[in-house]
Amino acid sequence: MSLALDIAWSRADFLLQVECEMPSRGITALFGRSGSGKTTVLRCIAGLERVARASVRFNGEVWQDQRRFLPTHRRPLGYVFQESSLFAHLNVRGNLEYGLRRVPAAQRRIGFDQAVRYMGLESLLKHRSDQLSGGQRQRVAIARALLTSPQLLLMDEPLSSLDLASRREILPHLERLRDELSIPIIYVSHEIGEVMRIADHIALLEAGRVRAFGSIHEMLTRPDLPLAHLEEAGSIFDGVIAEHDPRYHLSYVDTAAGRLAISLRAAPVGQPVRVRIDARDVSLALEPPEHTSITNILPGRVMDVTDDRDPAQRLVRIDVGGRPLLARITQRSVVQLAIAPGLALYAQVKSVALMD
């Protein structure tokens, strides 16, 4: 089960050379700067761009190779464009039904009412597209794509044209899609915050090439990649709400790294959540810290120590319960504590943020 790409495309000032195999489950972020070729890759997958030397295979089915080219309308995919793309001559219901009607009844896995409920569109069905806000339009566009019961959902920076409030309105809907419909999503973005929140895998694009591909945990923390050196670099951990402690106004999240305390949440026990730990919020101690105000202390083992952008800083990657945790500490501390690969130590986490 995978999406295998082999694309070679050159234009006067741009060379795209992408060879990559992505898992066809979860959310894979195509991450890179603008101009790195993200959108072109997505358009090749969809068949909107017809690149002569390209091969696209989805779950063993050939969408394109040297001899064959399956036109877009025959590929079982959904596409959400960057800017609003609703048909101006149809109202919301007409837009939603456009794709639905063109899928044979036997192949429909997502019903009209279901998609409307998922995206919260019940009250908007009779509206014209120019009566909707940006966030509402994108929700309609996503529901419209879902209604073709796609086996693969392609999203080209679906939130980038929206304000912060609209983004917050849509993100939970995307997470529900991932968790409940199990449709694989390829998600183009240049916003690391967005990617950290929803992606399971990252394909890092640089100047038309896939620099690296891997799980989000690995990609965010690999010291040889730029993501670990971003100002907002950090690690993420997936877990479930384990317990609430109203007395101290805390909730506990069980993750592979151990139990983490976060500010009290209304979320029910057992709900899957993702937390983020910024590298600059992690300090290291050789002994189990006592008499400290830090609540979250995780035992681990140093994987590697690397230079950071700031020569005074070092980036330390620590294995905690099989997951990498990133710490940004001073070079002086690295020397004084003799921090080196293999050393067992304790990571003190000053702040854990729930991603919502």
Partner 1 sequence: MIASFYSPDDLVALWISLKLAAVTVALLLLLCTPLAWWLATTRSRLRVLGEAMAALPLVLPPTVLGFYLLLFLGPYGWGGRLMHHLGLQPLSFSFGGLVIGSMLYSMPFVIQPLQAAFHAVGTRALEVAATLRARPWDRFFTVAVPLARRGFITGSVLAFAHTLGEFGVVLMLGGNIPGRTQTASIVIFNHVEALDYSGAQRLSITLLVACFILLLIVYSANRSRAEVAAVA
Q: Tell me which residues touch partner 1 (CB under 8 A).
A: 46-48, 71-74, 77-79, 81, 84-89, 98-99, 102-103, 129-130, 137, 144-145, 148
CA distance 31 to 75: 24
- The nearer residue to partner 1, 68 or 301, going by C-beta atoms, is 68
Backbone angles phi, psi at 321, to 5 degrees: 55, 35
**In whole angstroms, how close is the CB of 72 to partner 1 at the nearest point?**
4
| Helix (H) or strand (E) run with residue 202 in it | strand 201-206
**In whole angstroms, how close is the CB of 151 to partner 1 at the nearest point?**
13
- The nearer residue to partner 1, 86 or 279, going by C-beta atoms, is 86
**In whole angstroms, how close is the CB of 68 to partner 1 at the nearest point?**
17
- The nearer residue to partner 1, 156 or 281, going by C-beta atoms, is 156
- Of the candidates 55, 16, 6, which has an alpha carbon nearest to the alpha carbon of residue 207? 16
**In whole angstroms, how close is the CB of 95 to partner 1 at the nearest point?**
9
- The nearer residue to partner 1, 119 or 349, going by C-beta atoms, is 119
- The nearer residue to partner 1, 150 or 324, going by C-beta atoms, is 150
Cα 187 to chain centroid, rounded:
7
Neighbours of 133 (CB within 10 A): 15
- The nearer residue to partner 1, 183 or 273, going by C-beta atoms, is 183
CB 38 within 8 A of CB 195: no
**In whole angstroms, how close is the CB of 90 to partner 1 at the nearest point?**
8
Angle of CA points 75, 78, 83, to nearest 5°: 130
Contacts of 336 by beta carbon, 8 Å cutoff, 6+ apart: none
CB 80 within 8 A of CB 138: yes
* Pairing verdict, β 185-189 and 27-31: parallel
